[in-house]
Each structure stands twice: as C-alpha cells, then as structure tokens.
Amino acid sequence: MKLTIPGAGLGLLALLIATSAAQAQKRSLVVANSTADAGKLDPHQTAVGADKGMLNWVFNALVRIKPGQINPEFIEPDLAESWTANTDRTEWTFKIRSGVKCHGGYGEFTAEDAAYSLKRAADKARSAFAGDMTPIAAAEAVDPATLRVTLKQPIPSLLGLLSNYHGGMMVCKKAAEELGEGFAKKPIGTGPFMFVEYQPQQFVKLVANKSYFRGAPQIDEITYRYMPSDATRDLALQNGELDMVFGRTTDQWVQRMRSLKGVKVASIEPAELNALHLNIKAKPLDDIRVRQAIVHAIDRKAMVALLGTQVSREAISVIPDGNLGIARLPLPDYDLAKARKLLAEAGYPNGLTIKVIISTHPTLSKIMEGLQAQLNAAGITLDMQPVDHPTWHQQIRKDLSPIVMYQAFRFPVADSYLSQFYYSPAAIGQPTAVTNFSHCDVADPEIEAARKEPDLAKQKLLWRSAQEKILAALCSVPFSESLQVWAWSDALDLGYEMVGSLNLAPDLTEKTRFTK
C-alpha cells in the first residue's frame, strides 16, 4: 500500500524553485563613471574622484568611516582592531588585525606594511597626499601586530588621516616594491574586491576576495566602465546594461531618473565646495581690488540655479558645509557696478583678460563656462585653455594657472581643508605642497594654534578667525557646493543606509548584493 504525505510534493517543488532562483540570482555588477579613462590606480597617487571611489573597494585603511556615512563620529576599526594614545596625544599605538591577506598571494598584512604605507603616503615622490601626512614624525612596526605613530604635534584629525581616504589607504609592502611603477596599473590591496584587469578607456575588472576578513562578498565580479557620454550611460542604465551610474548634477537628470521604474537615485554627501582659488602672489590678482571685482561679479544664486537646486547649494564659507568648525560667514554681494568700479580703480577701466587652464570634465567645464559668462559681464575675460582631467591636475600643481576652480571636500574637520588649501606650507611650489593654489598665508597663526588647542570651543573660535581672515583676503571665492549624484537598479541592495561617501562613490562591500 502506497503511503502519501500531504503537501510533500508541493514542498519539494517550492524547494526546487527557491534553489533555482538562488542559483539564478545576479552576482555580477557593472558600474559606469563619467571619466574617459583611469588616472593612476594607486591610492596614494590618484587625485581623480572616479579612481578614488573604485579603489575604496580594493583597499582598506587602519580605520574607516562606517559605510554610507561621512561624519567622523562613525569611525570604526578596519585593519587596526584598536588604538590608544598617550596623554598629550602625540604617540598613538595601533593593534593590527591578524590573519588579513594581501591580494594576489602577497602574504599577511602586518604592522610593517602599515608603517611602510604611511611612509610611502608621506613621500612626495610616491604620493599625491604627502602634504597631508606632514604632522606624522614617524611610523614604526614595534612587532608584527603593533604599529606606533608619532606626531610632531597633536592634531585634531589624526584618525581622519589614517581612515579609508587619500593617504590613509594601506598598501602591501611586498607588492608595491615588487611592482614598482606598475603598481599604478595593477593595484594590490586587502579589500573585499581584487583587481584583475584594466583595459584603457574601457574598464577595470574586479573580482570578489573570497578570503576577505569580514566575509566573502556576495558580488562575484565588478566591471567599472569609463563612459564620458551622459546619454550613453543613461541609456545603458535603462536597458539593464549597467547596474549603477555616476549621474549628471542637474535637477533635470535627477527628476528624469526618479521617473524611471526600477531605478533608485540619491544625491549624497559630502557636498564638494566649488571655489575659485586666486593666486594672490601673481599679477593681476596680487591687487586685492581685482580679486574684489571677481567676487562681486559672481552671482552665487545664479550658479546654484545653473547646477540645479536639488544637487547644489550656496557656499557659506571658504570651507565646505558639514565640517567640524565651519563658520557661516557673510559672503560679498553680487554687484556688477561695484566690480567694474574696482577694476577701473585697479587700472583696468577697459577690463582685463586672464588665461586659465580648465578641465574638460563635463561638470567642471560647465561650471567654468557659467563663471566665464558672469565675469565677462563685468569686463573680466577668462581665456580658458581646456585639457583632459588628469592633465589638468598635473598642470595646476605646477602653478600654471593663476585661477583654479577646484571642487573638493576633505575629511570633515576644519583643520583638514584649511591646512590643505590655505596654509602656506601647502602652497604650490613648496616641498610640502598640497592644494594651496592661492598661495594664501594670512591665517597660518590661527591654523597652527587650533591644532595645539585641546579645548574644542577655543579651537572652533580659532578656526572661525582663520576663515574670516581668508575671506577678507579673498584667497578664494566660494560660490556653491555640489552633491554627488548616483543612480542604481532597485534590485541592488548596498547593504547599508546611504548618507554619503568621502570617496565620492557608494561603498561596495561584502554585504552588497542583488535581491533579484
């Protein structure tokens, strides 16, 4: 006699369907950015936002800001499990996580790799962020699991320097030394995804690091494509060829993407400050009346309208909003008559022409075209020389452009931005140069004093005074802030709540997965 168990067939069928669905679940992710090609795929050398976002998926740091966040309060352990500091916070000791493997069979990551990484990041010959690391006097491996970092003086943002951002990225010593210059096209890290291939002007391919210390990623492969055409990226996202794209920072783009079925859109923090940095040591900008004419010729509200009110906002200081220590300052009014009067007083009654180098990056060139039109109305002609984005970065760091429109955000503590853009040792041409294109030096005493001040309230007052002095000298003309805009398939679960990313691209982690 045959025994029948009710529902057994249905249960088996459900199990088979579930198994088939799991097997069919998408595990390859295709991302596209707006740049035409990679710059340098070395985290210590690239200054290109598109590279930094992708490399954040390949590399770790000693500490990291929790995925999806940008506030320093969310700093958590990464390659360092824990850390302590002496009383005056000039000597820090980090316990290095054991068992972390470098990609490509390059061995275990130890304190020696960490010390090497910090020394490499501080070496101007090997790092674009050497100026950031000047507060560090020494980095030593006490033993394989212990790193000691000694500072020249206490700074309020050490953990920011050592986070997963710019020079804080950790490289594997053996790989970096063995590959030499080739490391910039074959990056070796410890992160959730490993580099496997680069095709110029086409893509970078990454695969899952199955030995990742936080667990094997749920995405097997990432193809990171270079697609400068906005229309091509949009169409590829709509037809399913792409899963995630860097968007156009316009209201129209955001609204159009939000109208599409199956697409998520996010304007994410940080907002990068858009500012014209004026070389106050070079003619004709050494005359403050010329600088005043420039600031009065710029209509900040019109620039926000040009860029889009959903993706940009007016600047409020010479550093970005959201920084610890930001001071909301009264910026000069838009006044064309005053601009022309100041130009005449400076000896240019018929106007003047200034040659500037600009990037062909679509967003940056759009901003410069808007500024060019505004300044032209006041009699200031910008003779713009366009070059590709990586070349632009190289040339402005050689002091070849007296005006630099730079879009940037730094670790969100006032000291970081002030020290890199307005502190005299960071001026272009100095051995410790970073991004002080204006050669500003008016706030050096306040910047230095704030670093040593243990009282946060007093520190904020010093930072406020620094911002006021920089604005009075018009080392830069801040006008707007731009949010980062990304869109992705609603089938993609990032694995966290998206607020922002210091690396200007969504974090892809071991938890990122497709839900269908």
Nearest to 131 by CA among 475, 450, 416: 416
CB neighbours of residue 288 within 10 Å: 15
The CA distances from residue 415 to 10, 74, 289, 436, 462, in Å, are 64, 18, 28, 14, 10
Cis? peptide before 270, omega within 30° of 0:
yes
**How many CA atoms, within 13 angstroms, populate the side-chain half-sphere of residue 340?**
8
The token pair at 453 is 């001040």
Q: Which two tokens stand for residue 491?
A: 């089938």
pLDDT attached to residue 11? 52
Domains of the chain listed by start with CATH number: 28-226+491-514 (3.40.190.10), 269-483 (3.10.105.10)
Report which of 196, 191, 82, 200 is spatially closest to residue 147, judged by C-alpha positions: 82
Interatomic CA distance for residues 317 and 333, integer angstroms: 14
Q: Alpha carbon 237 to chain centroid distance?
A: 24
d(CA 336, CA 412): 34
Between CA 209 and CA 219 the distance in angstroms is 10
Hey, CA dihedral for 508, 512, 513, 514, is it positive or negative?
Answer: negative
What distance in Å separates the CA atoms of residue 314 and residue 329, rounded to the nearest whole number?
12
User: Amino acid identity, residue 304?
Assistant: V
Residue 4 is predicted with a pLDDT of: 46
The span from the CA of 471 to the CA of 332, in Å, is: 9
Q: Token pair for residue 364?
A: 């940056």
Q: How far apart are CA 502 and CA 348, in angstroms?
A: 42
Q: Give the model's pLDDT for residue 16.
A: 47
Q: CA–CA separation, 100 vs 212, rounded Å? A: 7
pLDDT in tens, the chain (516 residues): 444 444 445 555 454 444 444 456 899 999 999 999 998 999 999 877 789 999 999 999 999 999 999 888 899 999 999 999 999 899 999 999 999 999 999 999 999 999 999 999 999 899 988 878 988 999 999 999 999 999 998 887 789 899 998 999 999 999 999 999 999 999 999 999 999 999 999 999 999 999 999 999 999 999 999 999 999 999 999 999 999 999 988 899 999 999 999 999 998 888 899 999 999 999 999 999 999 999 999 999 999 999 999 999 999 999 999 888 999 999 999 999 999 999 999 999 999 999 999 999 888 999 999 999 999 999 999 999 999 998 999 999 999 999 999 999 888 889 989 999 999 999 999 988 989 999 999 999 999 999 888 788 999 999 999 999 999 999 999 999 999 899 999 999 999 999 999 898 999 999 999 998
User: What DSSP state is assigned to residue 99?
Assistant: T
pTM comes to: 0.78
Q: How confident is the model at residue 9, as a pLDDT?
A: 52
Given this model, what pLDDT does residue 21 score?
Answer: 47
